[in-house]
Amino acid sequence: MAETTVKPWGETTIVGKPIPRVDGYERVSGAAVYPVDVILPNMLYGAILRCPHPHATVKKIAVGKAREMPGVRAVLTDADPEARIGWYAGSGPPGPGGRQMLSRLFDPHCRYEGEEVAAVAAESPQQAWDAVRAIQVEYETQPFVTGMEEALKPGAPPVQEGGNLVGAPRETKRGDVAKGFAEADVVLEETYRSSCEIHAPMEVHGSVAQWDGDRLTVWDTNQGPFGIQSDLATALKMPLSKVRVISKYMGGGFGSKQEAGKYTVIAALLAQKTARPVKLFLTREETFLCVGNRPAHIMKLKAGVKKDGTLTAFQLTGLGEVGAYPSDTSVGYQIGDLYQCPNVHIVETQAYIHAGRNRAFRAPSFPQGNWALEQMMDALAEKIGMDPVELRLKNIPAVCQMQQNKPYTSTGLRECLTEGARAFGWKEARSRPKGDGPWVRGVGVASSIWMYQNAGNSTAIVKLFADGSANLNIGAADLGTGTNTVMAMVVAEELGVPLDRIQIENADTGTTQYTDVSGGSKTVLADSPAVRLAALEVKARLLEMAAEQLKVPLSDLVFKDGAILAQGGAQKLAITELRRLRGQMLVGVGRRGPDPTDKVVRPFSTDFAEVEVNTRTGEMRVLRMLAAHDSGRVMNLLTYRNQVFGGVVMGVGFAMTERRIMDSSTGKMVNANFHDYKIPTAKDAPGEMTCLPIDPHDTECNINGVKGIGEPATIAVGAAIANAFYHATGIRVTAAPITAAQVLTLLAQRKTRG
Ligand code: MOS
């Protein structure tokens, strides 16, 4: 079925409805076997010895004692030739992209607390951990640096050869900012900071590896089995066809499970060495050190605005803290694209420190950039005496200024602002008395834009059985977001097959079709067009069969509710009545077409927050949030809302509670556990959350009109809360998170200043 002949959906009967997850029962009852639940006959357990120092060289490893421990079947170190695997520690093993190798699987040069030094496989997890403790390592500790500003000072201990600057500064420039600032009536400058946040998906990272001759099968918790397959094949020098990765269920990743981990390769090597299946899952404490994070940022932003609200210039100097290995953290995109602004100058640098590395984290870099930009917009609005919603409306972008001024396929930002403000009761809330204390109230607003990279290739297969039930075959990992449900709904929409009669095969490189990683908020827009095309191919075959059986021309037939109608409904043929379908199965194959090249696909959002702050204790409560999102068509209102609410709560974590704390005297993370690292609980979630979808009926982004919601859901939440905090207290908190301790300090400073 050619994509070009497919018309956008008009009214839909299934797509868009709030339908519970097709696998909801399995997931909540415990019947679903996640990778962490996999138990194979004869299975061993792996554990990893990690460097306890922020910076050290391994001088000697003695494994003799560990090898003699009860139950131990293998010990693996850098001395084993098969473990000498080059590693680009920023982003998994070297792949087709030609990633640079900066390290090894067990590199004797350890650049952060938690780097892999050795591994063990034993009959039980306890025996494996006992053996890990029995490995004797002689380290030569070295000077370290745990903060990005210190790292760039002369004489700071270098993390990588060549110093602590990660490559050359990145620069984006348009217009003339000096001219822009000269034309402005108000120019403001502020330095904003954000803290390092740690990925904390429900299922910890890990793999189960099993060899069958020269064939490797890995049950791995990840966001895209095909990427893991490719990473493993490269690391182990195997053909892709011999590596099977299965990720049917997975318990969350948020960006930290897009590539193979060292643990994946280590599990495979231990399994090979012992000729037994090996299960290697990290402990929660390990994941705090080594599976990734949203890096801290320092963002110096200068902005100019005219009295009428016209933005004249933005200038950003950004510094990101990438950790011990390189990966991109630039935050400037929104500053160049969310609002119409002729003069923009962005310079971003990144610094190495001796700590775990940055990794994609739900809208990588965007909440940080938004924290700066959207608080700045709030401050500009106040200075010129304009409502912050009005200031944003005044500067809606007409075209994508960051991509050759191409038009967007759709822009719902205006509606996010106006309809969101109406639904939130913005005007009334903004003018309501704030209270006489100690609890004071305020409301704030922030908007966002999100960019996905290329949505990639995607192939889907739909098979229709003779009884009218169907099989859907897709490669995508369902991160818990409801991907499988949405895809099944597309089949149900086109073929009228009830959801409970659709069997789904997904996320298995051995049996399902190639698709790109589930990430970048692009899973539904990458995969659902392929699924729809596959279903349409099946539908076309069914209509041909019906035309032959009824002896009527194809043009007289319509497909409705899983049956074929002829002569305006005078004749009706159920799928099961098709004689030629008996004794066979129809197979439809759908392939997604390319992204539009002449236009740019971008989701937009506006978040509104109401907070209550105790000016005596520094506590803050988020009373309510309204999130208005232009993410194109809503495919399933229930899972869409779930995404938005999850994103809001994650944004609360960014704004109020989450922060990696490094001890600069020991170089260790001091809060590497769920007690001291605070992810929001149900009690921290906003008292009331409202999701307001804005559907601009985009017919150009792709055949299904979807633009993506996963990451936009969290981007502007933090800044909206900070702006509400300012409205309530008159205090601008430039550093995230807004903890009670920080608020008390700021309140005390205000008092002393009078
Ligand atoms: Mo995402 S941070 O693209 O999984």
Instruction: Locate 457 and state its tokens.
Output: 């290739």
Distance 255 CA to ligand 1 centre (A): 4
Q: Please state whether beta strands 186-194 and 297-305 pair in parallel, antiparallel, or not at all (unpaired).
A: antiparallel
- CB of 257 within 6 A of ligand 1: the answer is no
Query: Measuring CA to CA, how many Å separate 101 from each of 147, 235, 260?
Result: 24, 12, 15
Distance 451 CA to ligand 1 centre (A): 12
DSSP annotation of 510: T
- CB of 366 within 6 A of ligand 1: the answer is no
Helices assigned H by DSSP within 356-471: 366-383, 388-394, 413-424, 426-431
Distance 193 CA to ligand 1 centre (A): 22
How many CB atoms sit inside 10 A of residue 33's CB? Answer: 13
- CB of 364 within 6 A of ligand 1: the answer is yes
Distance 83 CA to ligand 1 centre (A): 29
Instruction: Locate 291 and state its tokens.
Output: 């599976």
Helices assigned H by DSSP within 291-440: 333-337, 366-383, 388-394, 413-424, 426-431
Distance 57 CA to ligand 1 centre (A): 33
pLDDT digits (tens, 9 = 90+) for 111-148: 999 999 999 999 999 999 999 999 999 999 999 999 99
Can you tell me which residue has the tokens 């000729």? 275
CA pair distance 301, 80, nearest whole angstrom: 50
Structural contact between residues 262 and 115, judged by C-beta atoms closer than 8 angstroms: no
CA pair distance 541, 495, nearest whole angstrom: 12
**Among candidates 603, 567, 616, which has minimal Cα distance to 714?**
603
Structural contact between residues 314 and 331, judged by C-beta atoms closer than 8 angstroms: no
pLDDT digits (tens, 9 = 90+) for 716-725: 999 999 999 9
Kind and range of the H or E element at 742? helix 740-753
CA pair distance 664, 253, nearest whole angstrom: 29
Distance 518 CA to ligand 1 centre (A): 7
> How many CA within 13 A on the CB side of residue 36?
16
- CB of 180 within 6 A of ligand 1: the answer is no
Atom of ligand 1 nearest to the CA of 519: 3
Distance 367 CA to ligand 1 centre (A): 13
Residue 175 is predicted with a pLDDT of: 98
CA pair distance 687, 678, nearest whole angstrom: 18
DSSP annotation of 466: T
> How many CA within 13 A on the CB side of residue 703?
23
Give the neighbor-by-neighbor strand order of the sheet with 557-560: 557-560, 563-566, 571-574
- CB of 618 within 6 A of ligand 1: the answer is no
Distance 483 CA to ligand 1 centre (A): 14
Q: Residue 151 contacts by C-beta under 8 Å, 6 or more apart in sequence?
A: 145, 159, 164, 321, 351, 352, 353
Distance 519 CA to ligand 1 centre (A): 4
Distance 402 CA to ligand 1 centre (A): 21
Atom of ligand 1 nearest to the CA of 256: 4
Atom of ligand 1 nearest to the CA of 520: 3
- CB of 367 within 6 A of ligand 1: the answer is no
CA pair distance 454, 391, nearest whole angstrom: 32
Structural contact between residues 614 and 602, judged by C-beta atoms closer than 8 angstroms: no
- CB of 708 within 6 A of ligand 1: the answer is no
Query: Measuring CA to CA, how many Å separate 335 from each of 51, 155, 340, 479, 599?
Result: 39, 33, 10, 30, 20
- CB of 519 within 6 A of ligand 1: the answer is yes
Helices assigned H by DSSP within 152-219: 177-183
Query: Measuring CA to CA, how many Å separate 666 from each of 144, 287, 330?
Result: 9, 19, 29
> What residues does 297 pair with on adjacent strands?
194, 320
Can you tell me which residue has the tokens 């035309």? 547
Mutate to test the pocket of ligand 1, among 198, 221, 258 (most ligand atoms within 8 A of CB): 258
> What residues does 591 pair with on adjacent strands?
459
Q: Please state whether beta strands 278-281 and 44-50 pair in parallel, antiparallel, or not at all (unpaired).
A: parallel
CA pair distance 137, 617, nearest whole angstrom: 47
Distance 360 CA to ligand 1 centre (A): 5
Atom of ligand 1 nearest to the CA of 253: 4
- CB of 255 within 6 A of ligand 1: the answer is yes
SS3 88: coil
Mutate to test the pocket of ligand 1, among 362, 450, 454, 714 (most ligand atoms within 8 A of CB): 362
- CB of 520 within 6 A of ligand 1: the answer is yes
CA pair distance 523, 503, nearest whole angstrom: 19
User: Which backbone phi and psi does 712 adopt, to 5 degrees?
Assistant: -50, -30
SS3 294: strand
- CB of 444 within 6 A of ligand 1: the answer is no
Residues of the chain short of pLDDT 70, as ranges, are 1-2, 89-99, 754
CA angle at residue 418 from 412 to 423, to 5 degrees?
A: 115
- CB of 388 within 6 A of ligand 1: the answer is no
Instruction: Locate 719 and state its tokens.
Output: 């800044």
Atom of ligand 1 nearest to the CA of 364: 2
Structural contact between residues 262 and 87, judged by C-beta atoms closer than 8 angstroms: yes
Q: Whose CA is nearest to atom 4 of ligand 1?
A: 255
Q: Please state whether beta strands 278-281 and 206-212 pair in parallel, antiparallel, or not at all (unpaired).
A: antiparallel
User: Which amino acid is it at 651?
Assistant: G
Instruction: Locate 668 and state its tokens.
Output: 């260790």
Distance 651 CA to ligand 1 centre (A): 15
pTM value is 0.97
Q: Residue 584 contacts by C-beta under 8 Å, 6 or more apart in sequence?
A: 466
CA pair distance 645, 235, nearest whole angstrom: 38
**Among candidates 65, 132, 63, 105, which has minimal Cα distance to 268?**
105
Instruction: Locate 247 and state its tokens.
Output: 């990720």
Distance 363 CA to ligand 1 centre (A): 6
Residue 676 is predicted with a pLDDT of: 97
Residue 428 is predicted with a pLDDT of: 98
Q: Please state whether beta strands 343-352 and 311-323 pair in parallel, antiparallel, or not at all (unpaired).
A: parallel
CA pair distance 574, 568, nearest whole angstrom: 15
The burial of 288, by beta-carbon neighbours within 10 Å (0-12 exposed, 13-18 middle, 19 or more buried), is given as buried
Q: Radius of gyration over alpha carbons of the chain, in Å? A: 27
Distance 640 CA to ligand 1 centre (A): 17
